[in-house]
Amino acid sequence: MKNNQLEPIFIIFIITMTAECVLGLGKQFHHVGEAKSWSDAREYCRTHHTDLASIRNQEEDGQLMSTLPQLSSSIYFGLSRVNHSAAWRWSEGLDEAPITSSEYTNWDNPLEPLPRNCTCLQLRTDSSSYKMFHSLSCVKTKYALCGNIDGTFQLVTTSLTWEEAQQVCKNNDQSLATITDLNSVTETINACPWIGLFRDMDDEWKWIGEKQSDLRIWAPGHPSYRNCGTISEDLKWHSDVCETTRNFVCQEETPRLVKEKKTWEEALEFCRTQSGHPANLASLASDEVHQDAVRKILAATTDEVWTGLRFLAGSWLWMSGEQLQYQDLPVCPATGHGCGALPTDGSRPWEVRDCMEKKNFLCSKMA
């Protein structure tokens, strides 16, 4: 019975050796000239490649830029946040720590990734011009429109952040203006001064003072919910509305960590049928590939991850057919303990485990 269970895998292994080879180590980028929303683009990349492109350092940035055609409009890549107050994360690691200030970024300007939670009122020299609200980053510097108790307004022509503007108004026994009627604002100046409308942590727009207003005359494209990353024609990073349809760039990475818990054979089946392309459990047949795998599995949710190391027909082998470099594997492992795993703590290059244990695993794409 034991030999019958192993026979199908062994036959597949022979076919694999003669017909396929594993792609080399590294990350490859693929520009897709098909306009999709950010979420649809991510689904496409996960089906046909690995994921939307992530750019972890300047070297990867240069590699990506060298593969892109001349851009006529912005394209999506793998940066996003779940809402205006959340941190930016890479699509391939949404359960990892958010991007920090010490990590590589290429934003067009320092304000670009910040949420646009504060509001200014666009004014014109012609007082009859239509006045509209604009949502902006609260650390941008603008003039301030303070409101008096009697309903009149005072324009402060000093460049201030939204919080600084509120403090200046407060020092004069005022508050940033609450607008109940656009006609009550008679100032004529080409500027967009801060007013008291802001977005709170519950994603609701409120006025900062006691006086409230239902008035919301937003300019086109506002309020801004720019929660997805784009690369523009100048090759700088920008934020955009996720529902906008754009071309996008995917990445291919091997080996790839899959954070699902499966037995060894379930993991093999997943790699070969569910990963979006022909693949195998990863063979760590060189020091370079092994070290890259050790780096990737730091994000695993199990203490070890399955690899393509397997004991079949009395011999240890890589499922890809590559040469086995380990010399000290057990000659006769215990029944059922014929599957190889890689410890996430890097303590050993391999561990022999019960094949029915459920672990994360590494897939490698085949050519």
Task: Please give the pLDDT value at position 126.
Answer: 65
User: Whole-model pTM above 0.75?
Assistant: no
Task: Please give the pLDDT value at position 287.
Answer: 82
- Beta-bridged to residue 129, according to DSSP, are none
Which single residue is written with the structure tokens 């006769």? 332
Task: Please give the pLDDT value at position 154.
Answer: 93
Domains of the chain: 26-114+226-252 (3.10.100.10), 118-207 (no CATH), 255-365 (3.10.100.10)
Task: Please give the pLDDT value at position 14.
Answer: 33
The helix/strand/coil state of 125 is coil
Amino acid at 113: P
Residue 290: alpha-carbon gap to chain centroid: 25
Task: Please give the pLDDT value at position 8.
Answer: 42
Task: Please give the pLDDT value at position 23.
Answer: 37
Task: Please give the pLDDT value at position 101.
Answer: 77
> Block means of pLDDT (10 residues each) for the chain, length 367 residues?
40 33 60 96 87 90 91 95 84 69 87 88 71 91 93 93 96 92 83 93 84 85 87 93 95 84 94 74 86 85 95 90 84 91 90 96 79
* Count of C-beta atoms within a 10 Å radius of residue 323: 9
Task: Please give the pLDDT value at position 200.
Answer: 87
Contact 16, 319 (CB under 8 A): yes
